[in-house]
Amino acid sequence: MPRIALLQSKTFPTKEEAFDHHETLIRAAAEGGAQIIVTQELFLTPYFCTVQDVNRFDLADVLPGPVTDRLGRIARELGVVLVSSLFEHRGPGLYHNTASIHDADGSLLGLYRKAHIPQDPGFEEKFYFTPGDSGWPVWDTAFGKIGVLICWDQWYPEAARLMALGGAELLIYPTAIGWLPEEKEELGIAQHCAWESVQRGHAVANGCYLAAVNRAGTHDGTEFWGQSFVANPYGELVAKASVENEEILYHDVNFKMVEDFRRIWPFFRDRRIDAYEGLSTRWR
C-alpha cells in the first residue's frame, strides 16, 4: 500500500524560503515512508489573491522551467511521486493556478490547470487566473492512478466524476481556504462542515480515496483552517490534521479497497448515461 503525505504548512516571506522549507518537508515525508507527497495550494507564495494588485503577477513562474526542474530532481532522488501547486505564467498576460505532477523517476508527467475560478471578498482569483484548459487528466504514476484538482474545483461533483471515470483511484486537492474575520463567528463551523462534507461525498460517489491538503495560520486577514484530511471510499476520515499547526499528515492508501467498494456499490454500472444530457446546459 503506498503511503501518501500531505504537507500542511504556512506562509513564508519569500519564494526561496518557501521552496527551501518545503524541500525539507518533502525529505522528511520521504524519510517517513511517503511515496506520494502533496503540497498545499500555491506553496511557493503567500495566498496573494486577497486583493487585486498587478504587481503580484510577478510571483508567477514559467512551467515547465527551473521550478519544475528542481521538483523533478527531488522526486527522482527520493523516488517519490510529487504533486506541487504553483502559479504559472503561460504567456503574455496569461496566468494559471497550476499543479505539476512528477513521477517517482523525476519525469514531469504533466500539468493540471485549475478549471473553476472563484471570485469572493478575500479570494480575488478571477483577476489573476485564466480557467484551465487541461481537461480532466488522470496520471498513471508509479504508486497509483491519481487525479489532481485544485481548491475551488473541490466543490464540483462533475470534476471528481470525470477523473474517476478516467481511472483515478485517488483524488488530490491542494487547497488554500479559511475564515474571514467577519464571518467566522456566525458561519465558520458551517463553512468548514460544507467543505469537508462535499469532498467526503466525492469519495463515496466515486468509490475512491480523496486527499485535501490545506494551509494553516493567518495571513493578510484570512485565517486558514488547516484540517487537511484523507477520506477512504466510504467517506470515512482516516487521517486529519490540526487547525493551526504545520504538520505532515500520513496515510497508507489501500487501493484494493477501491476495487472492492466499486464491486459492492456499483455506481458506475448503474449510471443513467442516456438521461444526463441536461448537465451540459447552464440552467434548465
Domains of the chain by start residue, with CATH: 3-271 (3.60.110.10)
pLDDT of 94-149, one tens digit each? Answer: 999 999 999 999 999 999 999 999 998 889 999 999 999 999 999 999 999 999 99
pLDDT recorded at residue 122: 87
Helix (H) or strand (E) holding 161: helix 157-165
pLDDT level of residue 184 (50, 70, 90 thresholds): confident
Taking the CB of residue 14, how many other CB atoms lie within 10 A of it? Answer: 11
What's the CA gap between 45 and 49, in Å, rounded?
Answer: 10
pLDDT of 24-78, one tens digit each? Answer: 999 999 999 999 999 999 999 999 999 999 999 999 999 999 999 999 999 999 9
**Residue 223 Cα distances to 24, 82, 138, angstroms:** 24, 27, 32
% of the chain surpassing 70 pLDDT:
100
Catalytic residues: 41, 114, 151
Burial bucket for residue 17 (CB in 10 Å: 0-12, 13-18, 19+) = exposed
Strand, coil or helix: what is 58? Answer: helix
pLDDT recorded at residue 116: 98
Residue of 187, 209, 174 whose CA lies nearest to 99 = 174
pLDDT of 139-182, one tens digit each? Answer: 999 999 999 999 999 999 999 999 999 999 999 999 999 988 88
pTM (two decimals): 0.96
